[in-house]
A and B are shown apart, each in its own frame.
Chain A
Amino acid sequence: MDFSIASILTLDGVTNGAIYALLALATVLVFAVTRVIFIPQGEFVAYGALTLALLQLGQLPGTVWLLLALALLAALLDAVAGLKRGLGAGAVGRAAVKALVFPLVVVGFAVWAAPRQLPLVVQSLLTLVIVTPLGPLVYRIAYEKLADATVLVLLIVSVGTHFALTGLGLVFFGAEGFRNPSFWDARFSAGPLTLSGQTLIIFLVSIALIVALYLFFERTLRGKALRATAVNRLGARLMGISTSGAGKLSFALAAFIGALSGLLIGPTTTMFYDSGFLIGLKGFVAAIFGALASYPAAALGAVFVGLIESFGSFWASAFKEVIVFTLIIPVLLWRSFQHGHHDDEE
């Protein structure tokens, strides 16, 4: 191991760490607002990367139909709930139409755009628009009714959702992997390091997103509402904040971050329908560093996980995964010693 090898490994680790950081932030956000340990976070990474891959091939990705089906199901659930509450048929109908307009426009545009081989940037934006609404829809269908259940129940629902989404991924994208074209093919050399354009994009987008999230939480009313919900659900509700709306917003952000990570990582590796799970899980390990509560600690944890992974694969490639996931044990020990007996907040 000399300096050049160490610097290459560090660059590789920080690049992967940047992706894990985004996912860790999403995991922390979802947990803080809804108390859901969001295992399917990684699925959105795979959906993002593979939806773009199919658009590149000029095919219509199955995620479009998933969006349509989930939107219809959610509208139906809303309509039934509305009628039960005694709302008029007109009001229920108007709400359903309002909920369905956006997904229908997206589906229509995707059907029109898929065979047309539009530029990569347009296809990437389309991918984000297809995958992001899946987040709130998943929340509406799988979690909303159980919003007050225990963390354990929500975790079990997450496991089920994860399997459902992975299975659907296999149906949509097939068993074989895809590698997306690079957004920027440039290469920069600095001593032993070669920095690819894609790596730069990963750094820039990750930093931009973290800054944007910071501004969102500090400066906007909706962001503050999310934070309030995270601090105290009941209190937030008494102040007139819709906790269900907060849940949907946090899931939308999680799906957006997932899809974006998928777009970023797609050109650097081969993505399979089930690749997202392990990537998401590493984001989760990073989130544990922040005790599922602190954003900066989670982001630092993510970079640390990326570095450990990179150096681990150099020294003992057969045990790389073991090393990364074993990390969680000392962190959990340290956390539990620090806080003593865990008070029951449920």
Chain B
Amino acid sequence: MKAFLKPLVAAVAFAAAASAQADITIGISLPLTGPASGLGIPMGNYIKLWPTSIAGQPLKVTVLDDATDPTKGVTNAKKFVTEDKVDIIMGSAATPVAIAMAETAAESGTPQFMFSPAVLPAGKDHWAFRLPQGNAVMAHAMIEHMKKQGVKTVGFLGYTDAYGESWLNDFKAQSQLLGGPQIVATERFARSDTSVTGQALKLVAANPDAMLIVASGSGAAMPEKGVVERGYKGKIYQTHAAATRDLMRIGGKDVEGTFVVSGPAVIPEQLPSEHPSKALATDFVAKYEKVYGAGNRNQFAAHAYDTIVVLEKVVPVALQKGKPGTKEFRAALRDAMETMGRTVVSHGVLNYTKDNHWGFTTETGVILKVVNGDWKVE
């Protein structure tokens, strides 16, 4: 009997000690495989560099792969809520997965840090906060630049998916607000298309002052080459999903002179010294490239960096209301996000409010120009 009691007592004592320590538990679901793995892998890389504690509380971080699959994302979220009893759910970096996870987060009353600019129906984002920039603030920076360049008409060539659609709507709305250029032709394509000849012919025939191409990563070069091949000579703009070196790697000479809107985190060296994010962006690039090699900076990894900046601000506030692992703590975290005020991060300035869970102010968008196969801040 005694031999049996001893380990039992030890186990109980251990369990009690563990709960007294009150770890902040974070469950993260990332697309480490599948089509969006190009986004998830760099984020996972930076999460490995996270500090082990925040505001004196140890961090307990679990990262699960959702394979860019909404069903798996929901399974992960449910596991976080029921088994791990997490204080914060994070992810996913893939928009459809992030949207699917939001339901579970909201039902359980757990704050969700979305790593993608996911659009939720009105009133459904009570518990969700986006870390990446929404398309509206990026469109804002782009339209301001177009106005300076004297662009009056724009041809739109975008993905047939949610990303393309959301850019079209946000660009139209922002342009109306700012008195910017008109969209005179709208054409769509899919990432898997082998040619955009038809679309390009129609767009070039409309002869707009500038062409806006909405595509992501290495998929962004093919449509641009298609438009240039059909003899388009005007300005070409690309969105922040195309702000990777894949654009130049695949596009080569044809993408020279392209304007790309981007977050400031990936080009700290060229930011003017008065830019609010200069210091943090420099810090992020130094930390990331020290481990993963020079030139490997990545805008998605920077969102993981910004997450810690935000946590350091909201966790101390929430700790006054409750202990990690409790319902009160989770609710307090959510409230603290809405009231944290202007917070400078590596990607710009965040300022969540009760009605705005997108956070970024218009200080985030930077226009880059492709010059001799490299980025140059405009």
Contact = CB atoms under 8 A, between A and B. Distances in A.
Interface stretch (B6-14, B188-196, B330-338): B188-196
Interface in B190-249: 190-199, 201-202, 205, 217-219, 221-222, 230, 246
A9 B198 contact: yes
A317 B192 contact: no
Interface string B285-301: 00000000000000000
B197 A310 contact: yes
Chain A CB within 10 Å, residue with most, of B33, B197, B205, B230: B197
A175 B250 contact: no
Contacts of B33: 170
Nearest to B218: A177
Interface stretch (B34-42, B147-155, B176-184): B34-42
Contact of A176 (B190, B218, B230): B218
B187 interface: yes
A79 B33 CA distance: 36
Contacts of A183: none
B250 A317 contact: no
A317 B201 contact: no
Contact of B192 (A5, A272, A315): A272
B38 A313 contact: no
Chain B CB within 10 Å, residue with most, of A16, A315, A317: A317
A265 B194 CA distance: 8
B160 interface: yes
A131 B201 CA distance: 36
Interface stretch (A96-104, A222-230, A274-282, A295-303): A274-282
A78 interface: no
Given A176-B217, A179-B222, A270-B222, A8 B197 contact: yes
Contact of B35 (A268, A274, A312): A274
Given A9-B201, A178-B218, A270-B221, A313 B196 contact: yes
A318 B188 contact: yes
Contacts of B190: 320-321
Contact of B199 (A8, A176, A269, A317): A317
Contacts, number: 97
A314 B194 CA distance: 14
Given A9-B201, A311-B198, A317-B199, A176 B38 contact: yes
A278 B192 contact: yes
A12 interface: yes
A311 B198 CA distance: 6
Contacts of B34: 170, 175
B201 A175 contact: no
Contacts of A315: 198
B100 to A, nearest CB: 20
Nearest to A265: B194
Contact of B37 (A175, A265, A318, A321): A175
Nearest to B229: A194
Contact of A269 (B160, B202, B222): B222
Interface residues of A, number: 34
The size bracket of the interface on B is 20 to 34
Given A9-B201, A179-B222, A317-B187, A310 B37 contact: no
Interface in A1-17: 5, 8-9, 12, 15-16
Contacts of B199: 313-314, 317
Contact of B191 (A15, A265, A272, A310): A272
A317 B189 contact: yes
A278 B36 CA distance: 18
B250 A314 contact: no
A310 B198 contact: yes
Interface string A160-201: 000000000010001111110000000000000000000000
Contacts of B35: 175, 274
Nearest to A313: B198
Contacts of B188: 317-318, 320
Contacts of A277: 192
A120 to B, nearest CB: 16
Given A9-B201, A313-B196, A313-B198, A178 B222 contact: no
A16 B192 CA distance: 13
Nearest to A322: B160
Contacts of B201: 5, 8-9, 314
A40 to B, nearest CB: 16
A87 B187 CA distance: 65
Chain A CB within 10 Å, residue with most, of B35, B36, B218, B250: B218
A15 B195 CA distance: 10
Contacts of A310: 195, 197-198
Contacts of A265: 194
Nearest to B202: A314
Interface in A291-346: 310-315, 317-318, 320-321
Nearest to B201: A5
A9 B38 CA distance: 34
Contact of A312 (B198, B217, B218, B250): B198
A275 B192 contact: yes
Contacts of A5: 201, 205
B198 A270 contact: no
Contacts of B205: 5
Nearest to A167: B33
A15 B194 CA distance: 11
11 contacts: A5-B205, A8-B197, A12-B198, A176-B38, A177-B218, A272-B218, A278-B192, A313-B199, A314-B202, A317-B189, A317-B202
Interface of B: 33-38, 160, 187-199, 201-202, 205, 217-219, 221-222, 230, 246, 250
Given A176-B218, A269-B222, A270-B222, 4 more contacts: A19-B194, A170-B34, A176-B217, A314-B199
Interface of A: 5, 8-9, 12, 15-16, 19, 170, 174-179, 265, 268-270, 272, 274-275, 277-279, 310-315, 317-318, 320-321
7 interchain residue pairs of minimum CB distance? A313-B198, A314-B198, A177-B218, A12-B197, A318-B188, A175-B38, A270-B222
